[in-house]
Amino acid sequence: SQQGEEDPQALSIQEGENATMNCSYKTSINNLQWYRQNSGRGLVHLILIRSNEREKHSGRLRVTLDTSKKSSSLLITASRAADTASYFCATDAKGSSNTGKLIFGQGTTLQVKP
Amino acid sequence: ETGVTQTPRHLVMGMTNKKSLKCEQHLGHNAMYWYKQSAKKPLELMFVYNFKEQTENNSVPSRFSPECPNSSHLFLHLHTLQPEDSALYLCASSQLGGELFFGEGSRLTVL
């Protein structure tokens, strides 16, 4: 079954606003990762948060993880038109780190209008 | 430039053709992956190789045949595909358990 599910599926905001995307998953995890994909291109890793961490920052990105609710959020502050892309969460189920099985959600398509 | 190179970037093939997708990583990683990305569907994990050994086959039809001759190279051999196999095929590499580094993908169209 699908591990990660993002919400919303699509988000449209004005430049300068903040964008928040959510991810829910079903099983216990070792870590949760967020990736970005520009249209027709490969995915690019943004940030990894381990199951024993609650919050992590990287530049304008802030990721939170709530293992009790099996959910994570990605916040992009002061968005720019160049942030327009699809954003995916991915999880590796506990016990799967020796197989490398990373499961992706359906993604949130973010449009930032100039 | 992510350190993962996929060729070809675009491929059009008939259902009776045999073709191969190639992936090469220059990052010294020990794990390599094939993912399939279709429109309006989540990224689907197809195969995982760790130190050249296949550790995951996600119920992929036998018309897709992976080959991993060494830790730096990964192939996906394609034979008698169906139009619904048209998709973006993404290769990735990592240290096992770490972040994935993706190639730019091979856009496959099956006529």
DSSP calls for A40-56:
TS-EEEEEEEETT-SEE
Calpha distance A64→A99 (Å, rounded): 26
The pLDDT of residue A100 is above 70: no
Residue B39: pLDDT band with limits 50, 70, 90: confident
Chain A residues 40-99 within an 8 A CB cutoff of chain B: 40-45, 48, 88, 90, 92, 97-99
pLDDT tens profile A8-31: 999 999 999 999 999 999 888 889
Q: What residues are paired with B43 via a beta bridge? A: none
Taking an 8 Å cut-off on Cβ atoms, the answer to whether B56 and A104 are in contact is no
Q: Does A28 touch chain B (CB under 8 A)?
A: no
Mean pLDDT for all residues in chain B: 93
The pLDDT of residue A109 is above 90: yes
The pLDDT of residue A68 is above 90: yes
Residue A94: pLDDT band with limits 50, 70, 90: low
Range B22-50 average pLDDT? 93
pLDDT higher at A94 or B16: B16
Taking an 8 Å cut-off on Cβ atoms, the answer to whether A99 and B2 are in contact is no
pLDDT at site A2: 44
Query: Which two three-digit tokens encode residue A13?
Result: 């905001």
Which amino acid, B92?
A
Nearest CA in chain A to B45: A103
Which member of B96, B102, B105 has the closest CB to residue A100? Answer: B96
Residue A98: pLDDT band with limits 50, 70, 90: low
pLDDT tens profile B45-85: 999 998 888 888 888 999 999 999 999 999 999 999 999 99
pLDDT at site A108: 94
Which member of B6, B97, B101 has the closest CB to residue A97? Answer: B97
B84 phi-psi bin (left φ>0, alpha ψ -120 to 50, beta other): alpha
Contact B23, B103 (CB under 8 A): yes
Query: Which two three-digit tokens encode residue B29?
Result: 């990683």
pLDDT at site A101: 78
Query: Which two three-digit tokens encode residue A15?
Result: 């430049």
Q: Does B24 touch chain A (CB under 8 A)?
A: no
